[in-house]
Each structure stands twice: as structure tokens, then as C-alpha cells.
Amino acid sequence: MSQFLISAVLGLLVTPLTISSVLANPNYNNVSEKISQTIQVQRPGRNQNRIFEQLNLTEEQTEKIIAIRQENQQEIRQSLQNLRNAQAELNTMITGKGNDNQLRKKHSEVLNLRQELAELQFNTLLKIREVLTPEQLQEWSKLMQQRRESRNTP
């Protein structure tokens, strides 16, 4: 199987959970930075290749997952950009002289955009889930948990 296919599939498998966990953090000052870091997770790396090997995806599974990702990729990217823009506006408003009602309205917009992005990612996750075997799902869950734990260790 080509290196490109492996890399593309791994980005798909890791991204939804990673972005959701980043966006769950209410620390507004660092959200844009964390989102940027999350997007970098989509790019292939050694750990992702290891995950791919551990899941032992077939070529058919790989192709299906790539198709699922491509189906939703543009919408997810646009949603991420909208979130970044709204978050930057909120950050500017917080340090500026905006009134409380304006701040609350922008904060609500940011929360709605986060929810929209989470829904898109979750729908992608559900589609990918249908492609994986029960054993692969268990292994994927275990690997993602280990990954989260390793990130939370100082």
C-alpha cells in the first residue's frame, strides 16, 4: 500500500478526536494556537504510521476512509476557519472596549461554531467507524486513549 494512502488514513483517524479535545478547552487565549497545532496532526508522522500498522487496515478500508475524509474535508476546513475568525474577534473584543452584550453575543457565536465543528467531526467519525472491524475499533480507542494520556503528562 502506498505511503500516501497510509498517511491520509492516519490523518483521518486521529484528527476528529484530537480537534474535539482541543476545542473542549475553554482557554480562549490559546484556542487559535491549539487549533493550528491540531491541523498539523493531520499531516503524516511516524506515530500515525505505527497506528495504521496496529489497526492493520485493508486496502479497501483505506480507500473507504480516504473517501469519507474527502467528502467532509472542505466543510470541516471552512468550519475551522470560521471558528478561528470568530475566536480572534472575541479575543480582540475582550481586550478592547466592547460592551458585555457584544461580548456575550460573540462568545455564543464561538460556542455555536465549536458545536458545528464537533458535529461535522463526529459524523465523520461515525462513518469511519462503520469501515473498521470491532477489533480495530477497540484497538483504535486504546491507541487514542494512550495518545491523550501522553499529551497530558508534563
The CATH architecture one would assign to domain 3-152 is Up-down Bundle (1.20)
79: confidence class by pLDDT, cuts 50, 70, 90: very high
> If you average pLDDT over residues 12-41, what whole number do you get?
44
What proportions of the chain, in percent to the nearest 5, are helix, strand and coil?
85, 0, 15
Q: Is the pLDDT of residue 63 over 90?
A: no
Its pTM stands at 0.64
Contact 76, 121 (CB under 8 A): yes
Q: Is the pLDDT of residue 40 over 50?
A: no
**Percent of the chain residues topping a pLDDT of 90:** 40
List the chain domain ranges.
Answer: 3-152
Q: Which of 21-30, 45-54, 82-91, 140-149 has the lowest mean pLDDT?
A: 21-30
> Is the pLDDT score of 32 beyond 80?
no
